[in-house]
Chain A
């Protein structure tokens, strides 16, 4: 069945360092992989997505890497800032369903 999971439930990084959040997925038929940020008391906010026929996509301070060989997805945040503290979810889209993983809490140490 479909499943999306995260290796690390919590991550603490120093302000200014780079952050890497990892995600494993099992459904090789998924056509989009997406990262969301959720701040306390708010709905998830889209960060970046990547199609299954790509292996890298860059946005503003963020990079998503997709390794289909090992079914692994990662989100890299450059120069992490206090405002990046939140819970990050990976998600995968298969046909019309969008299924979320369990989340990683990112804490930025000033």
Chain B
């Protein structure tokens, strides 16, 4: 059981380039989340999804887009990367309504030059 898997784990981009981070979970969870974490800080919610085909904005959605075409996958896209998007990105999933537990991936470290 792999849990939550993020790819890639590391990526370096130039300003203006685009890329997609993939999150895959094999637990049949309904809810999925994308967070970013900057050095010495907490996690900030970018976007989330409450089920296949749905997405919603979190605390810091600007500059990012997401898609949830399949229940097991949640994609985070950067259309035109900026240095301010240099961060560690974490994906998480949650089973259902009666829990607060999120299962996290190992993170994707993105550097924008």
Contact = CB atoms under 8 A, between A and B. Distances in A.
B59 interface: yes
Interface string B2-15: 00100000000000
Given A34-B100, A98-B33, A43 B50 contact: no
A91 interface: yes
Interface string A32-61: 111010000011111001000000000000
Contacts of B31: 96
Contacts of A101: 42
A19 B56 CA distance: 37
A72 interface: no
Given A34-B101, A93-B100, A98 B90 contact: no
A42 B106 contact: yes
B56 A102 contact: no
A44 B92 CA distance: 9
Nearest to B30: A96
B42 A43 contact: no
B100 A91 contact: yes
Q: Which of B4, B48, B100, B101 counts the most A-chain CB atoms under 10 A from its CB? A: B100
A33 B50 contact: no
Contacts of A97: 45, 48, 58
B19 interface: no
Contacts of B44: 100
Contacts of B92: 43-44, 98
Interface of B: 4, 31, 33, 35, 41-45, 48, 50, 56, 58-59, 90, 92, 94, 99-107
